[in-house]
């Protein structure tokens, strides 16, 4: 039995959707991503040639930026370098930080091949992209997805602040207090294979 499995459901409005079942305490975020990919392969049309979701906000997490940093030459401050290369960083008047995959002036993702409508960074695309396709999610799958993204983005902010404290060129303004971003015990690694679902959400 797989650690996680995704299956078709009928939602309250009689619309077809999908849901997730976690089968093991050792299930990781990577297990969820594999289950989603397997489900899509069996049940969804190939999305190559469709760029419908490539114009939407795609929040980034610490594991996403870690993976993207491996596309760059190694350096002293890899998270900051990857954010400069691939991310847009927004800070509102209340100090709320949002870090998203960069889009061009027309709102297209920087990894979108506009002519042929496919992602030219498919293997390293962020969690938000890998966990989405054009079929509604159940409420608790949506809640799990949001928890992974929100906690992963907070951990990314914390790591950027740590890099700045150690001398990295600032990406975040000095008004952002690292005390608001304590270490997240779920993110002892920046590899989805090592981040347990049970450490992200309750049963």
72-127 pLDDT tens trace: 998 899 999 999 999 999 999 898 999 999 999 889 999 999 989 989 898 899 99
**Diameter of the chain by CA atoms?**
55
What's the number of CA atoms in the CB half-sphere (13 Å) around residue 138?
A: 12
Which residues are CB-neighbours of 10 under 8 A, at least 6 positions away? 16, 17
The answer to whether residues 15 and 136 touch, using CB atoms and an 8 Å cutoff, is yes
29-39 pLDDT tens trace: 999 999 999 99
Torsion angles phi and psi, residue 33, rounded to 5: -65, -40
Return the structure tokens found at 39: 């489900």
pLDDT at 5: 97
Spatial CA neighbour of 145 closest among 61, 24, 49: 61
pLDDT at 1: 80
Using the Cα atoms of residue 44, residue 30, residue 28 and residue 98 in order, give the sign of their dihedral.
Answer: negative
pTM recorded for the entire structure: 0.94
Q: 43-52, 97-106, 115-124, 186-195: which has the minimum mean pLDDT?
A: 43-52
DSSP per-residue string spanning 20-77: EEE--TT-BHHHHHHHHHHHHHHHS---TT--TTTTS--B--HHHHHHHHTTS---S-
């Amino acid at each position: 039995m797989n650690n996680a499995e995704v299956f078709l459901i009928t939602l309250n409005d009689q619309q077809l959707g999908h849901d997730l079942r976690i089968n093991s305490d050792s299930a990781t975020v990577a297990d969820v991503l594999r289950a989603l990919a397997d489900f899509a392969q069996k049940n969804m049309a190939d999305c190559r040639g469709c760029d419908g979701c490539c114009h939407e906000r795609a929040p980034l997490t610490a594991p996403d930026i870690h993976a993207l940093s491996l596309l760059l030459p190694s350096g002293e401050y890899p998270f900051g370098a990857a954010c400069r290369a691939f991310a847009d960083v927004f800070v509102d008047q209340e100090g709320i930080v949002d870090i998203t995959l960069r889009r061009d002036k027309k709102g297209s993702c920087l990894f979108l091949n506009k002519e042929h409508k496919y992602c030219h960074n498919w293997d390293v695309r962020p969690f938000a992209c890998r966990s989405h396709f054009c079929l509604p999610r159940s409420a608790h799958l949506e809640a799990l997805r949001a928890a992974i993204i929100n906690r992963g983005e907070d951990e990314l902010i914390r790591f950027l602040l740590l890099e700045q404290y150690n001398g990295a060129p600032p990406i975040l303004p000095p008004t952002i207090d690292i005390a608001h971003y304590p270490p997240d015990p779920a993110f002892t690694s920046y590899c989805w294979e090592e981040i347990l679902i049970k450490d992200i959400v309750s049963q």
